[in-house]
Structure 1
Amino acid sequence: MRRVFIDAMLEHNFEVIGQVRIDTRLYDAPPTRKPGQRGRTRKYGEKVTPERIARFKRTVTTLNLYGREQAVRYRSKLAKARFLDGRMVRVVWCEFRSERGEWKSTCLLLSTDTSLTPEEVIESYGLRWSIESMFHQLKLAWGMKEAWQKTRQTLHRWVHLTMVGYGLTQLLSCVESPAISELCRHSPWRPENPRTAGQIRKGLVRHFRHVAVRRWWSSKGQKFRPPDERERIDFEYKQRKVA
């Protein structure tokens, strides 16, 4: 999670919860300035080092995360984040227990809302699980990661078309229809065929594989038309040019 994103959200009065680098520079609040003390006011206090973190109180609890009860252990502190220009944040060093009973590597969560408890920060961060599958499919199956557009306008068009395509297949997955079930039946080795947007997409690709979609784009007219209409327009354009 980068500063440019956090600053943009804060400008719109949104609080941000996300994961940051484990080696993010954190500091205590500076000590209270004494009356008549000379010198410039300090912005940061003592640095939060790995040795200090190891001495923080560690709490072990069970939280409802990712659709199931999961054991979590964490340490937490209010600190100033250097990359946020000294903004006070709630940071949580947390570890999740794997299915084999082993503790995973520590991750560092950051919340700009300092009123939240460590458990609330972890649970709020876990809410991203419900949309992770959507972004995963958009990047890998719908080609969002393969955007090579050079201008902002064409990039926005590509993103909107991709989102519309995903949304339509996602809505189709909610329809109880034999035709939709047939679209998902393209993996005979599976005992069950889940009805998901990704499975429906694979079925549609199989049906429309013979359609040369790229030929529909007219580079001259900058329009997306069927090949017959495009060829007719190009022919009329050439006739007018000859005349």
Structure 2
Amino acid sequence: MATKLLIPYQVLAQWLTILWQAVPIKLRPTLLELLFGNILSGSGHITDAILTVCAKTSWSNYFKALQSNGFSWLSLCRQWLVLVLRYFPRLTITLVIDDMLTPRTSKKAPSAAIYHDHAHRPNRPPFIFGQLRVALAIVLTYAGRTAAFPWLWRLIRTTGNTSKLKAAQVLMALARQWVPRAIAIRLLLDAWYMKKTLVLRLIHQAVTVIGQVRRDTVCYLLPTQPSSPRRGAPRKYGEKLTFAKAKPLLPLQHASIKAYGKTRRFEFYTAQAKVRFLKGHICRVVWCRFLQDSGKWTNWALLLATDPTLTAANVIKLYSRRWWIEPMFNEIKHSFGLINAWQQSRQTLARWTTLISLSYSLPRLLALWLGDQKGAQLFPIPWRRQQAVTAGWIVKAVQQYFRLVNIRACWDRKSQKFVLPNEDFMATCKKAA
């Protein structure tokens, strides 16, 4: 294979070398096989992953690597952050919190219970039996393209503290501890997570929160200062600000903003206001709607940003990046097999879920790093020259390259690096197969 076409795989090898520093030396080849096995199979079953890579050791070693306390999945998640910040340096990191429900049929599945399916999908009851996870994802924008990557998962317990807000607080506590202090954190939330117990704590931790809230959320204008001194405490709130009062009071603004996958026309009213459920914290409030492809306007939505210095256009543009977590959920569930991830204990399930997340994130991150121009040069497909290099495209390339490769032999135990196979090595693998 030409040296030019080896560039993406060389970058992938460097990333794997960085990530596997968080894994015990003894387990590195075994876990590497499980990772590539899920990339090549995409089913989410450990058995399929083992069979796909042509297991070079006993089956019990693969299951012990996940079931024992041999490696910490949290250390692997922290190393993923190190990798992202090294290759995509930035002053502000954008995070998204949302929950995902995975249907189950067996009562032996860990932390499985009956939950309300707020997605309202057709041909599905409003309450289903399954596992509920709260996800913390990283949203990266690079070379004009945006993608969401799963970072941390929290499986909601069926006993004890089962609140999704508590799970979100735990995830953000880890994020605040791991992200370097020089990097600011921006968190995007939907309406369900915009609660006082979560948002106020994040404000005190200097985290900027942008989210959608109910349209009847109580807001007040900033109080006016009296012309002459008066007795008593100064006023905390000004006039109550509702959408009905905002229409005649605030100017209607128009802007073309790149949001939700394309440039759209927005209408919005904006002001700085004190929000009562945040104990009077000054926020940027934006009532906005956009023109759909059908030519109809959407319903008015109320966005809130805890940083009042942000402009309304920036608030709309930044909040639209929360949408990228929805296709991430769909792809990691159905294309990479998270819906089939069924283990007997919470810790084993957390370890295997982390490997599934990496099998999804590495090809997508490689597609984001290559971009359209590099991708067209490295993968010259005439009928897709004007198309973006997608993560599915990268997955197919990785599957083709490592289809008959002995993955365990690619890990150099002496240098503790992932080494790409040369032509002689691949010829030997093909003969052995």
Give deviations 1:58-88, integer Å, cap 9, x for gaps: 1122122234221111111110111111100
Amino acid at match of 1:42: R
Secondary structure of 1:98's aligned partner: coil
Gap change, CA 1:147 and 1:70, over 3 Å in 2: farther
* Partner residue of 1:37 out of 231, 243, 255: 231
Task: Assess if the C-alpha contact under 8 Å between 2:209 and 2:306 holds in 1.
Answer: yes
Amino acid at match of 1:24: T
Q: CA deviation at 1:124?
A: 1.7
* Partner residue of 1:81 out of 258, 265, 275: 275
2-structure distance, mates of 1:73, 1:148: 48
2-structure distance, mates of 1:155, 1:32: 58
Q: CA deviation at 1:48?
A: 1.1
Secondary structure of 1:109's aligned partner: strand
Q: CA deviation at 1:96?
A: 0.8
1:19 aligns with 2:212: yes
Amino acid at match of 1:119: A
Give the aligned partner of residue 9 of structure 1.
202
Amino acid at match of 1:13: A
Amino acid at match of 2:263: E
Gap change, CA 1:168 and 1:64, over 3 Å in 2: closer
Give the aligned partner of residue 239 of structure 2.
46
Task: Assess if the C-alpha contact under 8 Å between 2:216 and 2:242 holds in 1.
Answer: no
2-structure distance, mates of 1:90, 1:148: 45
Give deviations 1:136-156, integer Å, cap 9, x for gaps: 434666547x999997x5775
2-structure distance, mates of 1:15, 1:86: 16
2-structure distance, mates of 1:106, 1:98: 13
Amino acid at match of 1:25: V
Amino acid at match of 1:80: K
* Partner residue of 2:287 out of 72, 93, 96: 93
Give deviations 1:175-204, integer Å, cap 9, x for gaps: x9xxxxxxxxxxxxxxxxx9755xx79xx9
Task: Assess if the C-alpha contact under 8 Å between 2:364 and 2:390 holds in 1.
Answer: no
Secondary structure of 1:80's aligned partner: strand
Secondary structure of 1:105's aligned partner: coil
Amino acid at match of 2:210: I
Gap change, CA 1:67 and 1:50, over 3 Å in 2: closer
Task: Assess if the C-alpha contact under 8 Å between 1:9 and 1:16 holds in 2.
Answer: yes
Give the aligned partner of residue 72 of structure 1.
266
Secondary structure of 1:127's aligned partner: helix
- Greater length-normalized contact order (CA 8 Å, ≥ 6 residues apart): 2
* Partner residue of 2:306 out of 112, 116, 129: 112
2-structure distance, mates of 1:20, 1:148: 37
1-structure distance, mates of 2:334, 2:311: 36
2-structure distance, mates of 1:29, 1:54: 17
> Which 5+ residue runs of structure 1 have no aligned equivalent?
177-193, 205-243
Give the aligned partner of residue 254 of structure 2.
60
Amino acid at match of 1:113: D
Greater fraction strand: 2
Task: Assess if the C-alpha contact under 8 Å between 1:147 and 1:158 holds in 2.
Answer: no
Task: Assess if the C-alpha contact under 8 Å between 2:213 and 2:302 holds in 1.
Answer: yes
Give the aligned partner of residue 319 of structure 2.
125
Q: Which moved more, 1:107-116 or 1:64-73?
A: 64-73
Secondary structure of 2:241's aligned partner: coil
1-structure distance, mates of 2:200, 2:273: 18
2-structure distance, mates of 1:50, 1:148: 49
Secondary structure of 2:246's aligned partner: helix
Gap change, CA 1:78 and 1:160, over 3 Å in 2: same
Aligned-residue identity in percent: 35
Secondary structure of 2:240's aligned partner: coil
Give the aligned partner of residue 188 of structure 1.
none
Give deviations 1:154-187, integer Å, cap 9, x for gaps: 775465244234336657989x9xxxxxxxxxxx
> Which 5+ residue runs of structure 2 have no aligned equivalent?
1-188, 369-374, 376-388, 400-433
Q: CA deviation at 1:10?
A: 2.7
Q: Which moved more, 1:49-58 or 1:83-92?
A: 49-58
Q: CA deviation at 1:91?
A: 0.7
| Larger-Rg structure | 1
Amino acid at match of 1:114: P
